[in-house]
Amino acid sequence: MKVSFQALQRHVDLTGITPERLAEVLPMLGLEVESIHSFGLAPLPLVVVGEILEFSKHPQADRLSVCKVDVGDGQPRQIVCGAKNFKTGDRVPVALPGTIMPGGFEIKVSKLREVESMGMMCSAEELGLGKGEDGLLILTAPKPAIGTPLNQIYGAPDSVLEISVTPNRGDCLGLRGVAREIAAALNLTLKPLSINTPAGFVAQPSASDAFRYVQLNSEFCPYYTARSLRKIKVGPSPEWMRRDLEAAGLRPINNVVDITNWVMLELGQPLHAFDAKQVQEGIIVRGAKAGETLTLLDGKKLELEAGSCVIADAHRPLVLAGVMGGVDSGVTSATTDIILESAWFRPGEVRRVARRAGVATDSSHRFARDVDPAGVELASRLATDLLVSYAGAEVVGSAVATGKPPRAEVKIQLPLGFVAHKTGTSVTDVEVAKCLERLGFSTEKSSSGMTVLVPSFRSDVTRPIDCVEEFIRIYGTDRVPVGRPIAPLPGEEDTRSSLFTREISSRLVGVGFTECCHYTLREAGEIERTLGKSALPQLALENPLTADQTHLRASLIPGLTGALALNLSVHADPAGLFEVGVVFRPQSDGTVREFLSVAFATLASSVVRTWKSREAWDVLKAKRMLLDVAALANLSASRLTFAAHADGLWQKDQASALVDRGRSAQGACGILDLRWTRSLGIKGTVIAGEFMLPRSAFAEAVRIPRFAAFSSFPPATRDVAVIVPQKTSAAEVLSRVQQSAQKAAAKEFELEAVHCFDVFSGPGLPEGNKSLAFEIRWRHSTRTLTDEEANRAMGVVIAALEKGAGWTIRR
């Protein structure tokens, strides 16, 4: 809200206080000052009123005129001018040589295209008076005397403070509310309002009123007042009022509209004036009926939502209650009689209706923030005073009120020492009472503490804790002591997922990967590439802001790949990149699950030319990393399966999809789809991996490992090589070796390890076959295994392998 420093002084005496001082005080009350700017004419002693005596075309420039101007110094001076909107006899502001214009430009005697110019005639904008009409500022009605300094006409400049008011402080959406805060903070007295129009309402209109009845038929309007005024002469409002409106950023329209706006700025209570001749019979506050329409003052035609609150006459809706009037019943230059509405509408409903209609007005903004019900009458009376004074209005009968104010003062019981207790200070209740009273609250000692009476303009203060805030705003937060640090709570630990995130990131950094951070919201094409078209509707947002951020990310790989491409394009060596973050995956049960994902990507071989290259990356190294991630997340490798292919982002036959049967973790590793990475401008292959863990994977508590004794006797080691068809998976052979070696040991000794030490295909083997060689290690816990035992065990393994279809032992 724009607050004029001069206008504030109507409510509180600010002698000796600068606008800059206010800009320090207001924020500490909770009213943030976003800016201060000067409003009105800056001190310009050398800008005076001049009269254009005659003018002619510039001999060398079609667009310029050469004028003779009298500035009252007895010597008409020649001024070259580019404006067109003047005639002989016009009085205009003239900046004499030596003037520093508000823009910092100095006026000098100069020649414009060979013709001497002794000053400058000014436009409103050049004088810092805002965007006026194009061309010179023509000074009219009444014509000021020639030679008068312009500052004498315009008065001293004002400062306007742009204040941002939090949604709980509807009372500060009027000057008086802001003044009240300032008075409280600086311990000043709020000046009383002086209003001539008598207080009080009657329940029914009289015969002379412009409306026969007022009916309240909507729960959204508990309190409605209206009064009739006639013989109004619609015209411009007085200069001071126009100034105030402009200072507040409003455009003056005519005296009636300006008065309603001015009172709203002053007291925070929005008013509405109807052209009485357009109101048929009476006023009905009701819910709109289905199919009704209303054309608003701004020309927007609304299909009214059934039930939303409107002010109607006997036949049709006239106003969207609390939001904006209709064009049919608005005040025009032909209006003579008006009905002045001052009412209270439910904040939530006004907010909802305004949002739905897509209309935000000064009125809806205030009603949505709960205006003071006591202000309804005050605003109506103040506006009536002004309509009488500045629009020639004649008051008809008494004002009519229907319903009753929805809330009044609130009583709060503040327990003894409550404020000191909550603030951690040693303030006494007497100090508390003093601070609250400065805000216009009244207090009374009670048996259990203090009774605080909160005026109705403070809808946000209803509970003891609210009084703590009020107190601390006035008392000052800098006077609250700094509490002592505290001891940790036993048994509390960071969530396992956060520990995991920290640890895995450090490990990846340790092996040369750099962490990235990408947006969660992605474009549709990326989701389609990752999960296919069917996932698009499942991951779409309801109300995306931009076309490139419409979906939730399903993988971190596209972001990383983009970063690889970006860094290659700017010649930064991307080495390895990784990211840890949340991705979203549709599940078979129709839900979407959040997974904590760890992903990495790197070029298979470095792009940097160097005397000795770093170790190249391949898919099985990526697999190793994935297994390490799984181990860190406490997922046992034995439950993980690596399928022979992965789709979407991955290259056919060169990647593997990973599934964890136990905890529904998933992932993939391998070479990224070459056609895709090439289309991004990446030469060479990209090796990547991603491991995704559901939140449930971190639910189990971590067990502290227990020590198990190990054997001090030597192992028995045997090798076996088996020739299998090329398409048989290594996992199948390995699993057969493991099972049989386990079985061979029976319960007598232990299988310690099986590891693959050779994979071969080529000369010496039948076409379409490969050979896998394994070392098997057995050990006994209490003695050395004999050769016979080991050989017997080996016999079991060989027998088992020979049962494999098309499998032969290589001898």
The stretch among 224-232, 348-356, 440-448, 679-687 that binds other proteins (CB under 8 A) is: 348-356
Segment near other proteins (CB under 8 A), from 101-109, 228-236, 312-320, 349-357?
349-357
**HEC secondary structure over 552-599:** ECCCCHHHHHHHHHHHHHCCCCCCEEEEEEEEEEECCCCCEEEEEEEE
Residue 456 backbone zone (phi > 0: left; psi -120 to 50: alpha; other: beta)? alpha
Q: What region, left, alpha or beta, does residue 210 occupy, with left being phi > 0 and alpha being psi -120 to 50 degrees?
A: alpha
Examine residue 540 and tell whether it contacts other proteins (CB under 8 A): yes
Cβ atoms of residues 270 and 325 within 8 Å: no
Q: Is 714 in the site for other proteins (CB under 8 A)?
A: no
547 part of the interface to other proteins, by CB under 8 A = no
- Minimum CB–partner distance for residue 570 and other proteins (Å): 6
- Distance in angstroms (rounded) separating the CA atoms of residues 60 and 82: 13
Exactly one of 8, 129, 508, 793 binds other proteins (CB under 8 A); which one?
A: 508
Q: In what order do the strands lie in the sheet with 214-216?
A: 214-216, 283-287, 309-312, 317-320, 324-325
Per rule CB under 8 A, is residue 268 in the interface with other proteins?
no
Site string for other proteins, 613-632 (x = CB under 8 A): xxx-----------------
Residue 32 engages other proteins in binding (rule: CB under 8 A)? yes
Q: Which of these ranges, 109-117, 145-153, 325-333, 484-492, lies near other proteins under the rule CB under 8 A?
A: 484-492
Among 171, 258, 349, 377, binds other proteins (CB under 8 A): 349
User: Considering the rule CB under 8 A, would residue 421 count as an interface residue with other proteins?
Assistant: yes
Residue placing its CB nearer to other proteins in the complex, 45 or 476? 476
Burial class of 36 by CB neighbour count within 10 A (0 to 12, 13 to 18, 19+): middle
Nearer to other proteins, 427 or 776 (CB): 427
Residues 557-586 that bind other proteins (CB under 8 A): 559, 563, 566-567, 570, 572-578, 581-582, 584
- CB 311 to other proteins: min, Å: 21
Which residue of 40, 347, 375, 667 would you call a contact of other proteins, by CB under 8 A? 347
Considering only 75, 189, 208, 477, the residue that binds other proteins (CB under 8 A) is 477
- Does the footprint of other proteins cover residue 454 (CB under 8 A)? no
CB nearer to other proteins: give 157 or 222: 222
In the range 359-378, which residues lie near other proteins by CB under 8 A? 368-369
Please, which residue, 198 or 348, has the CB nearer to other proteins?
348
Q: What is the CA radius of gyration of the chain?
A: 42
Beta bridge partners of 149: 48
Task: State the minimum distance, in angstroms, from the CB of residue 568 to other proteins.
Answer: 10
What CA–CA distances, in Å, run from 585 to 500, 522, 589, 665, 693? Answer: 20, 14, 11, 11, 11
Angle at 122 between CA 121 and CA 127, to 5 degrees: 150
Contact between 612 and other proteins per CB under 8 A: yes
Region of 4-12, 53-61, 406-414, 472-480 interacting with other proteins (CB under 8 A): 472-480
Contact status, residue 25 vs residue 205, Cβ threshold 8 Å:
no
521 contributes a contact to other proteins by CB under 8 A: yes
Q: Output DSSP code: residue 212.
A: S
How many residues form the binding site for other proteins (CB under 8 A)? 107
What letter does residue 201 receive in the DSSP assignment? -
**If we measure between CA atoms, which residue out of 192, 516, 201 comes closest to residue 342?**
201
Closest approach of other proteins to the CB of residue 178, in Å: 14
Contact residue for other proteins among 482, 547, 708, 746 (CB under 8 A): 482
Residue type, 589: D
Q: Shortest distance, CB of residue 655 to other proteins, whole angstroms?
A: 23
Specify the stretch interacting with other proteins by CB under 8 A; choose among 116-124, 260-268, 481-489, 795-803.
Answer: 481-489
CB of 52 to other proteins, least distance (A): 48
Percent helix, strand and coil across the chain, each to the nearest 5: 30, 30, 45
Please identify, using beta-carbon distances, which residue of 291 and 590 lies nearer to other proteins. Answer: 590
> Is the sign of the CA dihedral 446, 448, 449, 450 positive or negative?
negative
DSSP for 290-318, please give it.
TT-EEEBTTS-EEEPPTT-EEEE-SSSEE
Shortest CB 628 distance to other proteins, Å: 15
Task: Please spell the DSSP secondary structure of 638-700, one letter per residue.
Answer: GGEEE-S---TTEEEEEEEEEEETTT--EEEEEEE-HHHHHHTT--S-EEEEEEEEEGGGG-S
Considering only residues 671 to 710 of the shown chain, the ones binding other proteins according to CB under 8 A are 694-695
Report the site for other proteins in 105-164 (rule: CB under 8 A).
none
- What DSSP string runs through 704-717? PP-------SPPEE
Nearer to other proteins, 170 or 330 (CB): 170
Candidates 145, 153, 408, 541; binder of other proteins (CB under 8 A) is 541
Is-contact 176 266, C-beta < 8 A? Answer: yes
804 binds other proteins (CB under 8 A): no
Residue 125 sits at the vertex; the CA angle it makes with 124 and 129, to the nearest 5 degrees, is: 65
